[in-house]
Amino acid sequence: MTARNEGYVKPILTTKLSSKLNDFEIINSGVAGDNTFDALKRIEKDVVNHAPDLVTILFGANDAAFHKMIDLETYENNLIKIVHSISPKKTILISPSPVDEEQQFVRNNKTLSEYASIVKKVAETNGCY
């Protein structure tokens, strides 16, 4: 979700944040199709090595996809590892968004809601934003 450019030169999230947060350098390390396992493989190189002040993390849509289906317990454990690789106080967790189920066939809102609940739980129990 964070890697999508929607017709912009850079990902739309980067474009929007950059226009609002002029005093900050925005680095978007999102990779389309990645799930939390993929993130763990590249977290050091793509995130930690930049020594960020804050990191937004949005995972769940690909973890919840029927053809990838990362179970909820594993998803939670992966998120916790990601958060602690960065630092809970520097981490802003974003829950996966709902989808138009008539257009989206690889995930549904019931499942995404379960993953969103895990995001909230991880944020609350680990001191993230």
The domains found in the chain, sorted by start residue, are 35-126 (3.40.50.1110)
* 47-78 pLDDT tens trace: 999 999 999 999 999 999 999 889 999 999 99
Number of Cα atoms under 13 Å in the Cβ half of residue 47: 22
The DSSP letter of residue 129 is -
**Reported pTM:** 0.88
**Helix or strand holding residue 111 (H, E):** helix 109-126
Q: Residue 72, CB half-sphere, CA atoms under 13 Å: how many? A: 13
pLDDT digits (tens, 9 = 90+) for 66-113: 998 899 999 999 999 999 999 999 999 999 999 999 998 899 999 999
